[in-house]
């Protein structure tokens, strides 16, 4: 039987296809067609809200095509000069920005609440202002006098930064239009409220719409805008991943509340290298840059202890030394514990499996704890060999020599793969007083004066060489 289709139901009153409402998750930004108590994508409860579908108004007539010039790729003569950049004057921040702030760019700075985003932004604002930029700092979280008090504490009161406390986007854009600053800092995007969007501040629609308006406004007026965003428990910027797509640069401010140092990491940068890091230390007078992070991460090493291995890693474009600590103890539970801080737990699982299958070092019935000292977070696969060394050292209760630095990637076959920037890693190790390095076999030989190189082809040979007859049975 043919079902009659109710065309009035399908079509809007003016003949347009009726728009179905969309339901969006406030936590992860995923959209779905039906409301539900739990988000299908991130499994969060009570986070689904009705969202206005895009383009629910009548379609506008085309104005006759794109207005911008179309330039042939081959036409070098019509190339526009690169956009102007302003250096902050804080080396660690300039490095993460890829060599200063680009005129007319939009940035998102994400991080846990209380990690120091507002402090960093205020300090950066003051520096930019001193370097000749007209800066306006708009806080939606604190009153102007609170921001002023913070500036006083940070010793920044002499800087010509304009402070304002406002959450209404319309008022903010009007002020920006009148003031015409070179840089506007919005702290935070979650507190912004656009009156044409029918939902609460902090909701996906509000954040998305505010970020979109601010970014478009900034591009049109050639003004840089930095938006601060809070990060949720699972590490994403609250609500909208979409904001990450809108902006030119996304920086994450990370760190452990229990530790003084903070890392600013660029996860996306249209104007510079991504994955670059800047290291700061939280002091009583705000954030101070750390020029030699390796020394900071290795500072409190005592005499060699079992389960500790130093690796030379690369974060962004720079070498950083770090200490991997492992503890292995007999398990009282039927399922032995695997606990990791500062590393991906999947990698621990992989390295344990390779040690067991390729080197005959089982960890069955043993609880394993792995930690990167100082609260650093490592993503470099070159840490694999140091992780394996720390694990075997802890299991055998045999300390590694204090003057040795270790790096290399482990493949599932147990072979060791060379890693990028070997020479930079070795130079950093030598600078910090290490005299010996264990690395995978190098295709291109690298030598650094004062550093003895010990190359190993596979993990099993490494375990026998390093732990000798104390090695596992």
Residues that bind ligand TYD (CB under 6 A): 111, 113-119, 150, 153-154, 282, 284-286
> Which one, 129 or 419, has the nearer CB to ligand TYD?
129
- Supply the minimum distance, in Å, between the C-beta of residue 282 and ligand TYD: 5
> Which one, 189 or 218, has the nearer CB to Mg ion?
189
Q: List the structure tokens of 11.
A: 């079509």
> Which one, 53 or 113, has the nearer CB to Mg ion?
113
Residue 282, binding choice from ligand TYD, Mg ion, none, Cβ under 5 to 8 Å by partner class: ligand TYD
- Supply the minimum distance, in Å, between the C-beta of residue 139 and Mg ion: 8
> Which one, 120 or 390, has the nearer CB to ligand TYD?
120
Q: List the structure tokens of 338.
A: 């695997």
> Which one, 155 or 433, has the nearer CB to ligand TYD?
155
Residue 153, binding choice from ligand TYD, Mg ion, none, Cβ under 5 to 8 Å by partner class: ligand TYD
d(CA 280, CA 260): 8
Q: 135 with 125: CB under 8 angstroms?
A: yes
- Supply the minimum distance, in Å, between the C-beta of residue 211 and ligand TYD: 18
- Supply the minimum distance, in Å, between the C-beta of residue 124 and Mg ion: 13
Site string for Mg ion, 114-133 (x = CB under 5 A): ----x---------------
Q: List the structure tokens of 72.
A: 């042939």
- Supply the minimum distance, in Å, between the C-beta of residue 27 and ligand TYD: 19
Q: 272 with 97: CB under 8 angstroms?
A: yes
> Which one, 227 or 282, has the nearer CB to ligand TYD?
282
- Supply the minimum distance, in Å, between the C-beta of residue 230 and ligand TYD: 8
> Which one, 180 or 257, has the nearer CB to ligand TYD?
257
> Which one, 142 or 403, has the nearer CB to ligand TYD?
142
Window contacting Mg ion (CB under 5 A); options: 60-68, 100-108, 111-119, 197-205 = 111-119
- Supply the minimum distance, in Å, between the C-beta of residue 285 and ligand TYD: 5
d(CA 424, CA 321): 11
Residue 284, binding choice from ligand TYD, Mg ion, none, Cβ under 5 to 8 Å by partner class: ligand TYD
> Which one, 239 or 382, has the nearer CB to ligand TYD?
239
d(CA 75, CA 77): 6
Q: List the structure tokens of 2.
A: 């043919």
Site string for Mg ion, 292-331 (x = CB under 5 A): ----------------------------------------
- Supply the minimum distance, in Å, between the C-beta of residue 120 and ligand TYD: 7
Residue 150, binding choice from ligand TYD, Mg ion, none, Cβ under 5 to 8 Å by partner class: ligand TYD
Residue 98, binding choice from ligand TYD, Mg ion, none, Cβ under 5 to 8 Å by partner class: none
- Supply the minimum distance, in Å, between the C-beta of residue 142 and ligand TYD: 8
> Which one, 250 or 460, has the nearer CB to ligand TYD?
250
- Supply the minimum distance, in Å, between the C-beta of residue 154 and ligand TYD: 6
Q: List the structure tokens of 193.
A: 């409220």
448-458 core/surface letters (b: 16 or more CB in 10 A; e: else): beebeeeebeb
d(CA 273, CA 276): 6
> Which one, 145 or 339, has the nearer CB to ligand TYD?
145
Q: 383 with 348: CB under 8 angstroms?
A: no
Residue 199 interacts with Mg ion (CB under 5 A): yes or no: no
Residue 113, binding choice from Mg ion, ligand TYD, none, Cβ under 5 to 8 Å by partner class: ligand TYD
Determine the size of the site formed for Mg ion (CB under 5 A): 1
- Supply the minimum distance, in Å, between the C-beta of residue 212 and Mg ion: 22
Q: Return the ∠ at Cα 201 (arms to 165 and 17), rounded to 5°.
A: 135
Q: List the structure tokens of 434.
A: 């290490």
CB neighbourhood size of 156 (10 A): 20
Q: 389 with 382: CB under 8 angstroms?
A: no
Using CB under 5 A as the criterion, which residues of the chain lie in contact with Mg ion when the complex forms?
A: 118
């Amino acid at each position: 039987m043919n079902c009659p289709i109710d065309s009035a139901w399908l079509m809007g009153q003016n003949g347009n296809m009726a728009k179905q409402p969309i339901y969006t998750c406030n936590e992860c930004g995923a959209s779905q067609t039906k409301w539900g108590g739990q988000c299908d994508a991130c499994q969060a409860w009570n986070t689904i809200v009705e969202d206005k579908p895009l383009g629910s108004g009548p379609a506008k007539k085309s104005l006759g095509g794109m207005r911008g010039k179309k330039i042939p790729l081959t036409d070098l003569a019509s190339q526009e000069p690169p956009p102007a950049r302003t250096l902050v004057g804080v080396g660690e921040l300039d490095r993460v920005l890829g060599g200063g702030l680009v005129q007319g760019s939009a940035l998102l700075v994400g991080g846990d609440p209380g990690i120091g985003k507002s402090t960093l932004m205020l300090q950066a604002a003051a520096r930019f202002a001193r370097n000749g930029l007209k800066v306006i700092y708009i806080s939606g979280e604190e009153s102007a006098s609170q921001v002023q008090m913070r500036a006083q504490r940070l010793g920044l009161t002499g800087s010509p930064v304009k402070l304002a406390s406002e959450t209404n986007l319309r008022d903010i854009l009007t002020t920006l239009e009148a003031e015409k600053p070179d840089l506007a800092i919005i702290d935070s995007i979650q507190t912004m409220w656009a009156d044409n969007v029918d939902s609460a501040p902090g909701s996906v629609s509000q954040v998305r719409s505010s970020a979109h308006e601010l970014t478009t406004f900034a591009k049109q007026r050639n003004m840089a805008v930095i938006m601060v965003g809070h990060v949720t428990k699972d590490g994403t910027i609250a609500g909208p991943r979409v904001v990450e797509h809108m902006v030119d640069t996304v920086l994450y401010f990370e760190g452990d509340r229990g530790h003084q140092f903070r890392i600013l990491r660029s996860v996306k940068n249209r104007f510079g290298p991504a994955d670059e890091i800047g290291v700061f230390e939280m002091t009583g007078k705000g954030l101070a840059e750390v020029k030699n992070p390796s020394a900071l991460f290795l500072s409190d090493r005592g005499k060699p202890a079992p389960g500790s291995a130093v690796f030379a890693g690369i974060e962004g474009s720079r070498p950083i030394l770090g200490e991997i600590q492992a503890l292995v103890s007999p398990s009282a539970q039927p399922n032995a514990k695997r606990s990791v801080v500062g590393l991906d737990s999947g990698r621990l699982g992989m390295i344990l499996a390779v040690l067991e299958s390729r080197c005959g070092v089982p960890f069955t019935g043993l609880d394993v704890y792995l930690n990167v000292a100082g609260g650093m977070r490592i993503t470099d696969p070159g840490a694999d060999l140091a992780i394996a060394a720390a694990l075997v050292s802890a299991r055998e209760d045999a300390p590694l020599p204090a003057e040795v630095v270790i790096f290399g990637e482990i493949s599932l076959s147990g072979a060791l793969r060379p890693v990028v920037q070997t020479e930079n890693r070795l130079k950093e190790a030598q600078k910090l007083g290490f005299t010996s390095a264990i690395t995978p076999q190098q295709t291109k030989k690298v030598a650094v004066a004062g550093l003895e190189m010990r190359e190993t082809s596979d993990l099993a040979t490494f375990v026998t060489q390093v732990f000798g007859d104390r090695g596992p049975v």
